[in-house]
Amino acid sequence: MKSRFVLLKRLLEEAGFDPERVHLQWASAAEGDVFAEGITSMVERITKLGPNPVRKGD
Amino acid sequence: MVKRIALAQLTSCWGCDQSLLDLHLKLLDVLPSLDIVYWPAVVDFKVADLESMSNHSIHFGFVEGSCRTKEDVHLLKLMRQKSKILVAWGSCSVYGGVQGLGNQWELKDLLERKFLKADTITEGRIPDENLPGFTEHITPNPDIVDFDAILPGCPPTSENTAEALTALITSKSYDLPDKTVCDQCPKERKEKKIKKFYRTHQGHIDQNKCLLDQGYLCLGFATIGLCGAQCPTVNAPCKGCFGPPPSIKDHGAKIISALGAVADMPPEELERAFPDPLGSFYFTDYASSYLSKIRGKQRSKKTK
Amino acid sequence: MTEREKTIKIAPVTRLEGHGELTVKLTKTGKVKDVQFNVSSTRFFEKFLEGRFAEEAPRIAPRICGICPEPHHLAATKAVEAAWDVTPPPAAIKLRRLLINAKQFSSHALHFFALAAPDFLAGPFGEPALRNVVAIIKAMPDVGKMALEMMQFGQDLAAAVGGKAIHPVTSIPGGMLNPFSEEKRDLFLKRVGQAKKQTLETVTLAKKVVQDYWDPITKLAVTPTYYIGMHNKGNLEIFDGNLRVMDPKGKIVADFKPKDYRKYFGEYVPEHSYATHIYYLPAGYPAGIWRANTLARVNVADRMATPIAQEALQEMRDALPRPIHATFAYHWARIIELVQAIEEIENLLKDSQIVSKDTKLSDVEPKKGDGVGCVEAPRGTLLHHYWTDERGIITKANMVVATNNNIAGIEKSLMVAAKQIFEDKAHEGLKFPDPMIK
Ligand code: SF4
Ligand code: SF4
Ligand code: SF4
């Protein structure tokens, strides 16, 4: 399920999140919605993690 | 009984209006049961007229467009206040629309590109006299006020709007179907195993076969079936402009999940095929995606 | 600013596509100090096109305007083809011409009947509730029905060629995704005769309006400006040609390929409008303010491209010498273009190549470069300029849309009209006919 992970990583990058913080585990969910919930909880988690995960406007 | 209707445009392209006008002669069937109290595209009433109406005095309020300016937010709230039944009309209204793709940047980047750095501009400035000012990012209308019905589409077809209107006029409820564009598509489908993705300008398209089977990114499988599969019917891949069916919460997540399942290729190749997943998977509904909303929250925190 | 100055605000300006408000500022002695056309929103397409596949631009850009998406669809395609050095097959070009003329036809019909005619048929002082197309349909059912049928003909044809009329999808770098079937061609060949007949009836109706309103047409809001429009060897053209600029005296001061637009187009950012003002760069701002749209095209072109339209143009030029600065003559010019559109449509439908299956190349390759795509939208010159990288992804976009070519000119003519009305009370001395709808 690495395929989903690579697309997700690109998506997060484009949306302005640091893909380094993404973990493979959420990308393995089969269903779209479970997957989507996965993204939310994941992003919520990573945004709590670091001091400023938001990319500075370049 | 003649029903009072108001049609208001927030920031939009007016395509939803044009789509309603495109009922043409069929308009004559609907018009007699309607009293148009506000519709700036066609009728000479002003915002002040709308402001002076009493609350809930409009039977049906249709809102096209999304909130790119502070004036849009005012008009949206006004429409909510004055309307009994408020309808989010078109993908801009339901999801934020194509302009939601702008949420990928900060407002200052958008302003800079348009007013300071355009090729033909010699002396840039950001206009602000007698103007409403922009919102920091596009927030989908349903996250700002409550709606009683939604009708997505960019634009909804004339028939979609007529159907919704007729249901409202006859006091029936209007619910969205839980089917997809694929369910409406005439093309012949096979078990999907995609070895290579093509871009729309590439190669030769077989007119009888499913576009996705041929390796073109057709989003019919993740998109609500309301339009009659207009694009695939003419060999243009569905870009998902009507958004997902009600059971799918996040359009892009669903698409990524499905592509992961049907793409028969190394992950690196898949990554190379979609360098712009955000633009490719959220054509008119990026503003309503989880990612955009989380990003929006962060921005608001920062500006507070 | 003193308190005794007066500001009149019209919000929104109705029967206009796009979001506009009008601000008229009067001094304490009642002189017109300023007229502002405040375009109060914009969506930043220039920015969010960045990073997208260039071949998707023809799908994204039409959303700039739902009333005239076809010109955007085609300008975007042409810009990418120019950047990638691609020449589509001849049949594809004919289909695109059919598409843009179908739009020209429905848009001009819509504009004449739904946006402009209410003023003329109900009279400019008519009740707001009567001054709209719905009221016309009720009061003059024959005219209303004809108007709706004409709009429908154009929209149906656009949908048949473009896949859908609002935000068409078939044009792609390298050609058209869907050939035009013989069945469809035959269907429209059957309908085109009726549409042409109705067009000629519209010409008659328009002539009557012109006669009735001769006084205000020739006296109100007569505004000398520059004009910009496309032509093909002097013929009025909307799909592919050179651009011409005419000065207020009627002299052609520039004639150039759209790709060289940056030498001639200046973009002024006003303080009071999100839509910028495009002007003739060599003359500077505000001296170089130009207008686009129907009257501008008719002014810059030597002649129409089709015979009946040419007769109509000649009649206009006999009555009003070129260049015509009378703002209300825009409606007249629109009808002349309506005639050209239906004649072009008829010719294209009769061309056997229109049903060719050879409409798309299969070996289009992206490359790094930039390209300009220019067409005439119903409301004026429209230009897209894209830069792409070697993968064919857009790195930068610049767009000059029809509205921006007109806004400064609209302001200028509104200033003239406002002075006439508020200072000279000119409308009181003008002859207006009895409204047809009361
Ligand atoms: S939903 Fe689409 S057609 Fe409707 S206003 Fe928005 S961009 Fe235009
Ligand atoms: S062409 Fe598109 S809409 Fe049609 S079946 Fe295939 S994926 Fe679905
Ligand atoms: S096929 Fe897809 S892109 Fe085309 S109109 Fe329908 S939902 Fe929109």
pLDDT digit string, tens, across residues C259-276: 999 999 999 998 888 888
How many C-beta atoms lie closer than 10 Å to residue C153's C-beta?
Answer: 25
Q: Name the minimum distance, in Å, from the CA of C400 to any CA of chain B.
A: 9
More confident residue, C106 or C209: C106
What integer is the mean pLDDT of C350-375? 97
Binary contact (C151, B18; C-beta < 8 A): no
Q: Please report, for chain C, the start and end positions of each structural domain, with discontinuous segments joined by +.
A: 5-38, 45-428
Cβ contacts of B98 on chain C, cutoff 8 Å: 43, 48, 60, 63
More confident residue, C416 or C294: C294
Q: What atom in ligand 1 is closest to the CA of residue B15?
A: 3
Residue C14: both structure tokens together: 């109705």
Taking the C-alpha atoms of residue C283 and residue C260, their distance in angstroms, rounded to an integer, is: 17
Fold (topology level) of C45-428: Cytochrome-c3 Hydrogenase; chain B (1.10.645)
Residue of A7, A40, A44 with shortest CB distance to B271: A7
What integer is the mean pLDDT of C137-162? 91
Chains that touch A (3 or more CB pairs under 8 A): B
Query: What pLDDT shows up at residue C125?
Result: 63
Q: How far is CA C333 from CA B211, C240, C365, in A?
A: 44, 20, 42
Name the packing angle between helices C90-110 and C69-84 (round to 10°): 150
Chain A residue at shortest CA distance from B266? A3
Contact status of B2 with chain C (Cβ, < 8 Å): no
Domain count for chain B, please give it: 2
Same domain for B51 and B143: yes
At C91, is the secondary structure helix, strand, or coil? helix
DSSP state of C375: E
Interface test with B, best of C13, C146, C166 (most B CBs within 10 A): C166
At C226, is the secondary structure helix, strand, or coil? strand
DSSP H or E run through C411: helix C402-418
What integer is the mean pLDDT of B284-291? 93
pLDDT greater than 80 at residue A15: yes
Q: Is the residue at B19 inside a domain?
A: yes
> How do residues C50-79 score in pLDDT, each as one tens digit?
999 999 999 999 999 999 999 999 999 999
Percent of chain C residues past pLDDT 70, beyond the cut: 90
Binary contact (A10, B263; C-beta < 8 A): no
What integer is the mean pLDDT of B103-125? 91
Query: What pLDDT shows up at residue C1?
Result: 41
Q: How big is chain B, counted in residues?
A: 304
Binary contact (B114, C47; C-beta < 8 A): yes
pLDDT greater than 60 at residue C216: yes
**CA B210 to ligand 2 centroid distance, Å:** 5
Residue of B104, B263, B276 with shortest CB distance to A3: B263
Binary contact (B291, A39; C-beta < 8 A): yes
Q: Is the residue at B105 inside a domain?
A: no
Enumerate long-range contacts of A24-32, CB under 8 Å, 24 or more apart: A27/A1, A27/A2, A27/B260, A28/A1, A28/A4, A29/B257, A30/B257, A30/B261, A31/B257, A32/B222, A32/B248, A32/B249, A32/B250, A32/B253, A32/B254, A32/B255, A32/B257, A32/B258
Same domain for B189 and B134: no
| Residue C38 phi, psi dihedral angles, 5° rounding | -95, 100
B3-17, C12-26, C107-121: least confident range? C12-26
Query: What pLDDT shows up at residue C2?
Result: 43
Give the domain CATH number at B143.
Answer: 3.40.50.700
| Residue to probe by mutation, ligand 2, list B183, B214, B218, most atoms within 8 Å of CB | B218
Same domain for B163 and B24: yes
The HSE-up count of residue C227 (CA atoms within 13 Å, CB side) is 28
Q: How far is CA B155 from CA B98, B242, C168, C196, in A?
A: 11, 8, 11, 29
Same domain for B246 and B151: no
- Average pLDDT across chain C, whole number: 89
Cβ contacts of B125 on chain C, cutoff 8 Å: 269, 271
Residues touching ligand 3 (Cβ under 6 Å) are: B 181, 223, 227, 229-232, 238-242
Residue B285 beta carbon below 6 angstroms from any ligand 1 atom: no
How many C-beta atoms lie closer than 10 Å to residue C410's C-beta?
Answer: 23
pLDDT greater than 80 at residue A37: no
Percent of chain B residues past pLDDT 70, beyond the cut: 99
Residues of A near B (Cβ–Cβ under 8 Å) read 1-12, 14-17, 27, 29-33, 35-37, 39-40, 43-44, 47, 54, 57
- For residue B230, what are the contacts with CB-CB under 8 A and spacing of at least 6? B157, C163, C164, C169
pLDDT greater than 70 at residue C438: no
Whole-model pTM?
A: 0.93
Same domain for B242 and B161: no
**B217 near B286, Cβ under 8 Å?**
no
At C176, is the secondary structure helix, strand, or coil? strand
Same domain for B140 and B7: yes
Binary contact (B234, C169; C-beta < 8 A): yes
pLDDT greater than 70 at residue A57: no
Q: Report which residue type is found at C5.
A: E
Same domain for B232 and B188: yes
Taking the C-alpha atoms of residue C371 and residue C83, their distance in angstroms, rounded to an integer, is: 4
B77-86, B89-98, B270-279, C425-434: least confident range? C425-434
Query: What pLDDT shows up at residue C208?
Result: 85
Query: What pLDDT shows up at residue A33?
Result: 58
Q: Which of residues 127-156 of B touch C (CB under 8 A)?
A: 127-132, 154-155
What integer is the mean pLDDT of B113-124? 88
- Average pLDDT across chain B, whole number: 92
Chain A residue at shortest CA distance from B247? A33
Write out the DSSP string of B25-48: GGHHHHGGGEEEEE-TTTS---HH
Taking the C-alpha atoms of residue C372 and residue C399, their distance in angstroms, rounded to an integer, is: 9
Q: How far is CA C209 from CA B124, B216, C104, C316, in A?
A: 43, 53, 22, 14
Same domain for B146 and B220: no
Chains that touch C (3 or more CB pairs under 8 A): B
Same domain for B202 and B93: no
pLDDT greater than 50 at residue A54: no
* Residue where a domain stops, chosen among B119, B144, B169: B169
Q: Is the residue at B303 inside a domain?
A: no
| Residue B194 phi, psi dihedral angles, 5° rounding | -95, 120
The protein residue with its alpha carbon nearest to ligand 1, atom 2, reads B154
Q: Is the residue at B146 inside a domain?
A: yes
The protein residue with its alpha carbon nearest to ligand 2, atom 6, reads B210
Interface test with A, best of B178, B259, B265, B291 (most A CBs within 10 A): B291
Same domain for B185 and B165: no
Q: Residue C284: which of C297, C265, C270 has the closest Cα?
A: C265
Q: Residue C34: which of C11, C6, C63 has the closest Cα?
A: C6
Interface test with A, best of B259, B268, B274, B290 (most A CBs within 10 A): B290
Residue B20 beta carbon below 6 angstroms from any ligand 1 atom: no
> How do residues B197-250 score in pLDDT, each as one tens digit?
999 999 999 999 999 999 999 999 999 999 999 999 999 999 999 999 998 888
Binary contact (A32, B222; C-beta < 8 A): yes
Binary contact (B283, C55; C-beta < 8 A): no
- For residue C77, what are the contacts with CB-CB under 8 A and spacing of at least 6? C57, C58, C96, C171, C172, C173, C373
Query: What pLDDT shows up at residue B30?
Result: 84
> How do residues C188-210 score in pLDDT, each as one tens digit?
999 999 999 999 999 998 888 88
Q: Is the residue at B186 inside a domain?
A: yes
Residue B97 beta carbon below 6 angstroms from any ligand 1 atom: yes
Residue B217 beta carbon below 6 angstroms from any ligand 2 atom: no
What integer is the mean pLDDT of A9-23? 76
User: What is the domain range of residue B10?
Assistant: 3-100+129-169
Residue B12 beta carbon below 6 angstroms from any ligand 1 atom: yes
